[in-house]
Amino acid sequence: MTTVTIAQENDVELALDSALLFYRSQGTNHIYATQHSARVVDGKPTLLAGVPITLDQLADIADLAARKTSYRGFIHDRVVYLAPNLLAWWVPACTRRVWFNTKDKIGERAGDATHPPLVFIVNRTTWSVFALRENARPGPATKLYTAPYYNVWEGGEICVGNVKTPDAINTESIKPYEDAFFRSRFTHSNNDRLIHRRGGAERLWLDLLDGADFPLDRLIDAKQTLAQAIGSSTNED
């Protein structure tokens, strides 16, 4: 009797083991879950009789899932909120180089400019930015202001365009997100009301590129707190 061996030790094989079935009624919050063993019988995957799932078992499942979905590691000092697929962090006021390629008076220009303190909120589908009046770590009740940047919609959502954003949402993606925002060219305004001042955002950035301080008192109220903004992101998630 001769044998054939394929020495392939790197693959991990996961055999069918069990299934969870959920029963829910339309229009109510009632939900009932059963756990079933699943086996291959006569070559066909088959669901065996189930048992009601207990809260303890549900907690075990949640724990297993959390090990894969939650972040484990050192906490970034600018992170203000972290959940699976959701991250919010703030950026203190600073001077940073920006690039423009617009059809207005700014045109194709790059240079150092002062920036207001900012908060970024990222979830699976959207990426938003807001400005802050105080240059301090924001809390849940901190009021948010419209970030007066081109390529940002009224609700704070950033128009990504062809900018490459990180594949994962975790604290290691903070720098890539910031680079994607600040180091790409701002091209057009998506919001008519970016700042309270004559000449609007166009005049603002021309002044900032010429070395003006950022006028924090001219920021427009976004009419929501940080907790509300994160809450709406969580609902979307």
Q: Which of 5, 26, 28, 162 binds other proteins (CB under 8 A)?
A: 5
**How crowded is residue 180: how many other Cβ atoms within 10 Å of its Cβ?**
17
Q: Which of 47, 159, 180, 216 binds other proteins (CB under 8 A)?
A: 47
Q: Does 14 bind other proteins (CB under 8 A)?
A: yes
CB 50, CB 134: distance < 8 Å: no
**CB neighbours of 193 closer than 8 A, spacing ≥ 6?**
146, 154, 220
Nearest to 158, CA basis, from 121, 193, 127:
127
Residue 106 DSSP class: S
Q: With H, G, I as helix, E, B as strand and everything else as coil, classify residue 65.
A: helix
Q: Does 41 bind other proteins (CB under 8 A)?
A: yes
Candidates 15-23, 26-34, 63-71, 229-237: pick the segment binding other proteins (CB under 8 A): 15-23
Q: From the CB of 189, what's the least distance to other proteins, in Å?
A: 44
Instruction: Report the largest interatomic distance among the alpha carbons of the chain, rounded to a whole angstrom.
Output: 90
- Count of residues touching other proteins (by CB under 8 A): 25
Q: CA dihedral in degrees (134, 109, 102, 156; nearest 10)?
A: -20
Candidates 40-48, 84-92, 100-108, 214-222: pick the segment binding other proteins (CB under 8 A): 40-48
Angstrom distance (rounded) from CA 225 to CA 60: 35
Q: Does 13 bind other proteins (CB under 8 A)?
A: yes
Q: Which of 7, 31, 55, 75 binds other proteins (CB under 8 A)?
A: 7
Q: Does 73 bind other proteins (CB under 8 A)?
A: no
Q: With H, G, I as helix, E, B as strand and everything else as coil, classify residue 26.
A: coil
Q: From the CB of 52, what's the least distance to other proteins, in Å?
A: 17
Label the pairing between strands 86-91 and 118-123.
antiparallel
Q: Which of 18, 20, 24, 40 binds other proteins (CB under 8 A)?
A: 40
CB 144, CB 229: distance < 8 Å: yes
Q: Does 4 bind other proteins (CB under 8 A)?
A: yes
Q: Which is nearer to other proteins, 40 or 66 (CB)?
A: 40
Q: Does 16 bind other proteins (CB under 8 A)?
A: yes
CB 138, CB 132: distance < 8 Å: yes
Q: Which is nearer to other proteins, 15 or 55 (CB)?
A: 15
Q: Does 25 bind other proteins (CB under 8 A)?
A: no
Residues found near other proteins in the complex (CB under 8 A): 1-8, 10-16, 19, 38, 40-41, 43-48
